C-alpha cells in the first residue's frame, strides 16, 4: 500500500491556558497542504522501518510512524507485522506536522491493511496518545482545534490558496519554544473568528489582518531568520505570511500560482528547499492498495 501523508499549516495559533498535567490548552486553525511524505506498507511477519528522501529521519524506535504501528498492533492484539518505508519530503522540526502526518498515515493504512475496521474516533484517540497533532492529521479539512488537540471542529472554506513554504533556519525544540512563550512580556493574539470568516469567504485581506501565531516572536528571537523570511515573502507578493506551529518553517499566501511562482524564482537562490504548494482537504491519501 502506498500513501501520501500531507503537511499542515497553522492559519492561527493561540494558547488559552495550561492543564494540571502540564499540557497546553490550544486554540488553532489548521489545514493540510499539498506538500507530502510518501509511505509504503508491505505485509511482513515483523515490524520494521526504513527511511529515505530528505531530510533523512531515524529508522529506529524513536520514529513516530513505527511507534504508531507498534501501538496499533498492541492495541488490536494483531499477530502479524508490516515493513514500512518512509520517503521524507516535509522538513523536520518545522511546525509542519511531518512526523504526526506520517504516524496518522500508518494508522490509517494499517487499519485497512490489517482489516481492523477501527472507527475514526478510535484512531484519533490512539493518535493523541502519541502526539497532539495526530488527531488533526487523521481528520483533515479546515479545522478549528482546541484543547490539547482532541477537540476538532470542521469549518467550511471557499477556496484553495497558493503558498510558498520553507524553513529558513535550523529546527527548533517545541519544548523550549513553549517554555520561552511563558516568559514573554507581550503577546499578539490572533483573531480566530476573523480567520475562520476569512477562509469561509475567501477574503485574503481579512485573513491577513486576523492571522497570528503567539509562538512566532519567541521562535524568531532564537532564530532571527524567521522574521527575515516572513518579510521576504511579503516583499515578493505574499498577501500574508507567518510561521507555522512552533517553527521554524514559514509560509506565504499568494493570490495566484503565477505570483507565487515568481516569488519562488526570486527567493530560491537564498532558500535551498522552498515548496510551491496549495491548501486542500485531504490529510492522507491512499495512492495504491
Helix or strand (DSSP H, E) at 285: strand 284-288
3-state secondary structure of 255: coil
* Dist. CA 17–CA 27, nearest whole Å: 10
3-state secondary structure of 122: helix
* Dist. CA 68–CA 59, nearest whole Å: 13
CB 245 within 8 A of CB 12: no
Omega before 248 cis (within 30°)?
yes
- CA nearest 286: which of 162, 105, 161? 105
Q: For residue 210, report the phi and psi dihedrals to the nearest 5 degrees.
A: -100, -25
CB 31 within 8 A of CB 253: no
Side-chain-side CA neighbours of 93 within 13 Å: the count stands at 14
Catalytic residue (one of 4, 27, 133, 154): 133
Let me know if 8 is a catalytic residue. Answer: yes
* Dist. CA 252–CA 257, nearest whole Å: 12
* Cα torsion angle, 163, 9, 204, 153, sign: positive
* Dist. CA 197–CA 208, nearest whole Å: 12
| Nine-digit cell string for 8 | 499542515
3-state secondary structure of 280: coil
Let me know if 282 is a catalytic residue. Answer: no
Catalytic residue (one of 4, 8, 88, 102): 8
* Dist. CA 223–CA 75, nearest whole Å: 41
- Residues annotated as part of the active site: 8, 133
Amino acid at each position: 500500500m502506498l500513501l501520501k501523508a500531507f503537511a499542515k499549516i497553522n492559519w492561527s495559533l493561540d494558547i488559552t491556558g495550561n492543564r494540571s498535567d502540564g499540557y497546553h490548552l490550544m486554540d488553532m486553525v489548521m489545514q493540510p497542504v499539498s506538500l507530502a511524505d510518501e509511505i509504503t506498507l508491505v505485509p511482513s511477519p515483523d515490524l520494521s522501518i526504513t527511511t529515505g528522501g530528505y531530510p533523512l529521519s531515524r529508522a529506529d524506535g524513536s520514529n513516530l510512524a513505527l511507534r504508531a504501528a507498534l501501538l496499533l498492533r498492541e492495541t488490536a492484539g494483531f499477530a502479524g507485522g508490516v515493513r514500512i518505508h518512509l520517503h521524507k519530503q516535509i522538513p523536520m522540526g518545522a511546525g509542519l506536522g511531518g512526523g504526526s502526518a506520517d504516524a496518522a498515515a500508518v494508522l490509517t493504512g494499517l487499519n485497512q491493511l490489517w482489516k481492523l475496521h477501527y472507527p475514526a474516533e478510535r484512531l484519533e484517540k490512539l493518535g493523541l496518545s502519541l502526539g497532539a497533532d495526530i488527531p488533526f492529521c487523521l481528520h483533515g479539512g479546515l479545522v478549528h482545534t482546541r484543547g490539547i488537540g482532541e477537540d476538532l471542529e470542521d469549518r467550511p472554506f471557499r477556496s484553495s490558496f497558493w503558498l510558498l513554504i520553507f524553513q529558513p533556519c535550523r529546527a527548533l525544540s517545541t519544548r523550549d519554544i513553549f517554555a520561552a512563550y511563558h516568559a514573554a512580556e507581550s503577546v499578539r493574539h490572533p483573531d480566530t473568528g476573523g480567520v475562520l470568516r476569512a477562509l469561509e469567504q475567501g477574503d485574503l485581506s481579512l485573513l491577513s489582518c486576523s492571522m497570528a501565531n503567539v509562538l512566532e516572536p519567541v521562535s524568531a528571537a532564537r532564530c532571527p531568520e524567521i522574521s527575515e523570511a516572513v518579510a521576504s515573502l511579503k516583499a515578493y507578493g505574499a498577501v500574508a505570511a507567518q510561521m507555522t506551529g512552533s517553527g521554524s518553517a514559514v509560509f506565504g499566501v499568494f493570490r495566484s500560482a503565477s505570483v507565487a511562482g515568481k516569488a519562488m524564482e526570486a527567493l530560491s537562490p537564498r532558500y535551498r528547499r522552498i515548496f510551491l504548494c496549495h491548501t486542500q482537504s485531504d490529510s492522507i491519501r491512499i495512492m495504491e492498495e
